[in-house]
Amino acid sequence: MPCIDGLEHLLWKCEIGRNPAEIWKPDGWRFTPDYATPVGKEHEESGRLRKESPVLVYTAASTAHMESEVMLTDLPDRLSSSALEKNIKEAEALKARAERQLEAILKETVMLEEETSRTEAIHEKMKDPLQVAEENIIIRSKRPTREQTRDAVERSLNEQIAGAKHSIRMLGGVLDACDKELARLKVCREKLEEDIDQKRIALEVDNEALRMESGWAANIQSKRSPSASLPHMWRQRTENLCEECERTRATCERLRAKSKAIQEEALNVERETREAVLRNFARKMEETDRLKSELEASIANVSNEIITMEDARASVEQSMNDKHGPLALAKSRLSFRTSKPGNEIVRDAAERSLEKEIGDLEHSIRRLQLEMARQTADIHRLEQTRARLESDLKDKMDALALEQECEALQMDLSARMK
């Protein structure tokens, strides 16, 4: 096609009288690819006009062709601008989704950190019941040997220890899981922040490219780096990251719910076992106190019996002592009567009476001695019984004091666990 300089040259030739048909023949119009070939009367009319005004026809054709060239030149620019705008909108949408996901990740991180703090607090709190229960076991091991029985209190203390250890183990597992999920949330947050920052920079670059009105200078050579990924890969990377973050958040939500359930279960188990221990302590102390009262009553009865028997023994002893004087007198009389001359020593009624009196007194004394010995043995036996009762009472009192000490520790624990 003729250029603008050729058009000026053609007009100059027309002005000097040369025939334009020699330069631009009407038949040439038919072979112009940018215009349709006319037909019928319109074809004849256009041919006539071309013959009459060849310069006008050429000028119109050249102008139309130039407009077509401009349109064809502007078309790639409009297409690239539209592609840039579309890419910017898509990048902004992906960036907004990543920002929403980042906000959700940050919220989930805060909630999981709070849940971790509560779990850690309860984990530390569960060590207190374990320590108190173990201390109770140690204190109760100091009870007297006869009081060291495997009773309901010991069983409830063992259950309290087992429950506390199980709760500590479960809460420790929750803390480990929370640490792992917090690490995953941190990785997700870092990836999202990196993705958002990269998209922010990319948007700035695309917006700047869209606002460009002229290119760089011709002498500036810029080596274009090859694209790292395809558009679907670019979109899929952010979508996969968001899906991974959603899965992580869902896992964290389940973990928080599980943590709350375990915390509630741990507190319930601790409360139930502690209340069972306190109930058993109360029953044990009530029973011990009842036995203590019974022992005190038994000791009082035995002491009264001992006093009574001692009084009886004293009476027997007095009776025995009262017979020693008449016995000595009778023996003295009988012995003194032997000092008579030989012919006067006769076994008369007086001698027989003295002998009988001596025999009766000696028999009474022997019977009283046996009675006194029996009473002495009974008193000794009662004293031994009283000693055993007093020892048992002392054991009960010592055990009761230890039980009260353990109960006080459990009561203090109840105040701390509220």
Is 162 in contact with 130 (CB distance < 8 Å)?
no
DSSP 344-379: G----HHHHHHHHHHHHHHHHHHHHHHHHHHHHHHH
Q: Which two tokens stand for residue 79?
A: 């297409």
Is 385 in contact with 295 (CB distance < 8 Å)?
no
Tell me which residue has tokens 């004091």. 401
**For position 325, which CATH number holds?**
1.10.287
Is 215 inside a domain boundary? no
Is 63 inside a domain boundary? no
CA 156 to chain centre: 24
Mean pLDDT score, 86-106: 87
DSSP 3-66: -HHHHHHHHHHHHTT--HHHHS-THHHHT-TTSPPP-HHHHHHHHHHHHH-HHHHHHHHHHHHH
36 shares its domain with 126: no
DSSP 214: S
305 shares its domain with 192: no
Nearest in space to 23 (alpha carbons), one of 12, 31, 32: 12
Rounded CA-CA distance 418/24 in Å is 107
Is 48 inside a domain boundary? yes
406 shares its domain with 276: no
Mean pLDDT score, 393-409: 94
194 shares its domain with 89: yes
Give Cβ neighbours of residue 397 (< 8 Å, ≥ 6 apart). 292
pLDDT tops 70 at residue 262: yes
99 shares its domain with 198: yes
281 shares its domain with 302: no
Q: Which two tokens stand for residue 305?
A: 């019996």
Average pLDDT, the chain: 80
256 shares its domain with 145: yes
106 shares its domain with 239: yes
Tell me which residue has tokens 């064809």. 72
273 shares its domain with 206: yes
Domain that holds residue 321: 297-339+346-417
- For CA atoms 154, 158, 160, 161, give the dihedral sign: positive
Cβ neighbourhood burial of 112 (10 Å; 0-12, 13-18, 19+): buried
pLDDT tops 80 at residue 34: no
pLDDT tops 60 at residue 28: no
**What's the pLDDT tens digit per position in 5-27?**
444 444 444 444 444 444 444 44
Whether the model clears a pTM of 0.95, i.e. scores above it, the answer is: no
Instruction: Report the residue count for the chain.
Output: 418
Is 361 inside a domain boundary? yes
Give Cβ neighbours of residue 266 (< 8 Å, ≥ 6 apart). 122, 126, 167, 170, 171
Is 323 inside a domain boundary? yes
140 shares its domain with 163: yes
- For CA atoms 375, 376, 377, 379, give the dihedral sign: positive
Rounded CA-CA distance 220/223 in Å is 10
Mean pLDDT score, 174-198: 93
280 shares its domain with 376: no
Rounded CA-CA distance 139/137 in Å is 6
pLDDT value at residue 4: 41
Is 302 inside a domain boundary? yes
258 shares its domain with 321: no
pLDDT tops 80 at residue 81: no
Number of domains within the chain: 3
pLDDT value at residue 76: 52
Rounded CA-CA distance 261/252 in Å is 14
Is 75 inside a domain boundary? no
Is 275 inside a domain boundary? yes
pLDDT value at residue 154: 94
pLDDT value at residue 26: 44
Nearest in space to 28 (alpha carbons), one of 52, 51, 4: 51
